[in-house]
Amino acid sequence: MSEFIAEPRRFGRHAQRTVLVTGASGVVGQALLKRLRDVNVVCLVHRSPVVAPNVTVLRGDITQERFGLSDAAYAQLAHSVDAVIHCAAVTDFNRTDGTLETTNIAGTQRIVEFTAAANAVLYHVSTAFVHTTVDGERGRTAIGYASSKSAGEAVVRSGNVPHVILRPSVVIGESDSGEITAFQGLHQVAAGIFAGIVPMIPFDPAWPIDFVPCDLVADAIACVVENGITEGEFWISAGDRALRLDDGVAICVELARELGVTVDMPRFVPPELFDRLIGPVFLDALPTRIRRSVVGMLEFFTTYLQSGHTKPSSLDELAALGVGSLPDQRDSLRASLRYWAQAKGYGETEPAKVA
């Protein structure tokens, strides 16, 4: 790919801003490209291609010094950009190969350095689970993602650049269509329920399950940028409007039955009872592949959906900036799960195997 060439940054009341977006191929990044208006967009991409109208694509790597660009290309990019939306992150919460730290912490440090060189504003996309902790062994593997994002925030705060931190909750598909560029943790849980390998759930059914559609997340980020906000922290989460866990599971079971899948409603059991008596026998009896899937789902629930804690939410504050309202939680979850189910072949004559 050729070196980056862009018009020098123009200052003035009617100048059009140039925004550098990282992670543009991801779930939030793709939704954001659809939403950004009245700005020049430069996407810094590493491996995954990005195809979008009116977007300049530049190949680089946030984990490398100067993103792996030449001195001249890096300087030209810094001269052209006046805002950075940093969405790039490793989001696999079971990753143990060091890439969580390399990308989410060291990569963020490179972004802060670039923002300073560009004399720009940094819009750092973190997670609403940044303060997550775990007790005991279960969830200890999955906590790596939240820990890396917490450390990434610390890097941003210590970087001496104007910045805004945005914390989305669990991101699902678009509120109307359910469309999403990559299936997420909640889709994996749905896969387990559809496959009938989740006969019981060792969590309190009243725990809130906080999620937000990707188009709402994109709208929130874009509105903060468009309004020229240069400081603050915003929680993009359902907060006290989050669904209960049992309501979310019931929606999944109802959809499965609508699509011709015979599935029973999982039974909720007290966590301590499952850990002490049921879990060891239940898990040991499962085939290895299924056991890994079930353990992964338990890690996900334990780490990111537990404890009955209601997330803070800045949606009312963001509404004053022009952000749309939170869609009906039941409708948006149903749309997201239906999109996943159709992609997997459910509702056809012979349902496809769950991947």
What pLDDT, in 10s, does the model give residues 195-213?
Answer: 888 888 888 888 899 999 9
Percent of the chain with pLDDT over 70: 79
Q: What is the pTM of this model?
A: 0.88
Question: DSSP strand E in the chain: where?
Answer: 17-22, 39-45, 55-59, 83-86, 121-125, 163-168, 170-172, 200-201, 208-209, 211-213, 231-236, 243-244, 267-268
Across the chain, which distance is largest between two alpha carbons, in Å?
68
Does residue 204 sit in helix, strand or coil? Answer: coil
In this structure, is residue 352 part of a structural domain?
A: no
In this structure, is residue 217 part of a structural domain?
A: no
In this structure, is residue 131 part of a structural domain?
A: yes
In this structure, is residue 25 part of a structural domain?
A: yes
CATH number at residue 88: 3.40.50.720
Q: Residue 230 in contact with residue 315, Cβ under 8 Å?
A: no
Q: What is the pLDDT of residue 309?
A: 81
* Nearest CA among 180, 181, 122, 186 for reference residue 156: 122
Task: Count up the domains in the chain and report the number.
Answer: 1
> Residue type at 196?
G
Mean pLDDT, residues 270-297: 69
Q: What is the pLDDT of residue 199?
A: 82
In this structure, is residue 24 part of a structural domain?
A: yes
In this structure, is residue 292 part of a structural domain?
A: no
For residue 158, the enclosing domain spans 1-168
Q: What is the pLDDT of residue 35?
A: 95
Q: What is the pLDDT of residue 197?
A: 81
In this structure, is residue 161 part of a structural domain?
A: yes
In this structure, is residue 58 part of a structural domain?
A: yes
